Amino acid sequence: MGAFTLTELLACVASRLLEDNRSVFVGTGLPMIAALLAQRTHSARLLIIVGAGVGGPRSPSLPVSVGDARTFHQAVLASSMHDVMSACCAGYIDYGFLGGAAVDGYGNLNTTIFGDWQRPKVRLPGSGGANDIGSFCWRTIYLMRNQSTRTFMQKLPFVTTPGYLDGPGARERAGLVGGGPWRVISHLGLMGFDEESCRMRLISYHPGVTPEVIQQFTGFELLVPDDVIETPRPTAEELRILREEVDPCQLFVF
C-alpha cells in the first residue's frame, strides 16, 4: 500500500463506521466521500440522505455539492429539504454527520459565535440543520478536522448543537429523542463517549500520533482507556476506490 493523504485516512475512518442496511444524513465533502466509499465496500445497502432533498442515490462519482445532479443518480426519493429534515426529526435517520468550529468534552458543538453575544469577536454560519441532526439522529458523527485547544474546548462560548449538554441524563431531560454524539474524528484520532459519564474518550490514535500528543491538543481531560489502539491505515482497495471511483477528479485530495 502506498502513501495516503489525511483526507483519505479520515474518509476511511468515517466510512468504516457506517453499517449496512442503515441510513445516513450527509453533506458536501468528507461525509459524502465516506458514504460513497462505504456503499462501494462493506455497506452496499446504505441509504444515503442528502440535505437538498434526496434519498437513496447511487452517485457515480463525488458530487461537488448537495445540489449537484449526481446526488440524484438512481435515487429513490427526489423531494425537498423539508422532507429529509422531517425524516430526521421523526427519528428515521440512523447516522448524521456534523462539523463545527468547536466541541466540548460532552460533545456540544458551537457553530455560532466566539466572544460576547452582543459584540462577538467572530460570527459563524450558525445552525442550519445541525441542531435537528444532533438532536434527532440516533448516532451523530462529528468531523472535526483540526484538533487543538481552540477547537476542543473546556467550555464553549455558545452551544449551537446539543451533545450530552452537562452530563448524564441531560439529553433526556431536554426531550431530545436521538442518541446524541457517537464518534468524533479529527486529524489526530478517533474519539467516542463513555456510556456512564458521557465524557469524550479516545478510541484510536492515527498513525504517527500518540495519546499523549492528542491530550496536548485537547482543552479538557480526555478519557484514555487501556484498550486504545492505533487507527488502522487505509487499505490498498480503499485507496483505489477513493481515487478511481469516488473522487477521480481529485476534488478533495488535501
Among residues of the chain, what percentage have pLDDT more than 70?
Answer: 98
Give pLDDT tens digits for 185-207: 999 999 999 999 999 999 999 99
Whether 178 shows a pLDDT value over 90: the answer reads no
Give pLDDT tens digits for 205-240: 999 999 999 999 999 999 999 999 999 999 999 999
The CATH number that applies at residue 153 is 3.40.1080.10
Give pLDDT tens digits for 9-65: 999 999 999 999 999 999 989 999 999 999 999 999 999 999 889 999 999 999 999
Of 17, 5, 244, 4, nearest to 143 by C-alpha is: 17
Residue 1: which pLDDT band, with cuts at 50, 70 and 90? very low
Whether 2 shows a pLDDT value over 90: the answer reads no
Asked if residue 77 is part of any domain, the answer here is yes
Whether 89 shows a pLDDT value over 60: the answer reads yes
Domain around 205: 6-246
Asked if residue 253 is part of any domain, the answer here is no
Asked if residue 119 is part of any domain, the answer here is yes
Spell out the alpha helix ranges (H) of the chain.
6-16, 30-40, 81-89, 130-136, 170-173, 211-216, 236-241
In total, the chain counts a number of residues equal to: 254
Asked if residue 219 is part of any domain, the answer here is yes
Distance between CA atoms of 9 and 113, rounded to whole angstroms?
A: 30
Distance of CA 209 to the CA centre of its chain: 21
Q: Using a CB cutoff of 8 Å and minimum separation of 24, what contacts does 247-250 make?
A: 247/33, 247/61, 247/62, 248/61, 249/61, 249/62
Residue scoring higher pLDDT (158 or 2): 158
How many distinct structural domains can be found in the chain? 1
Asked if residue 153 is part of any domain, the answer here is yes
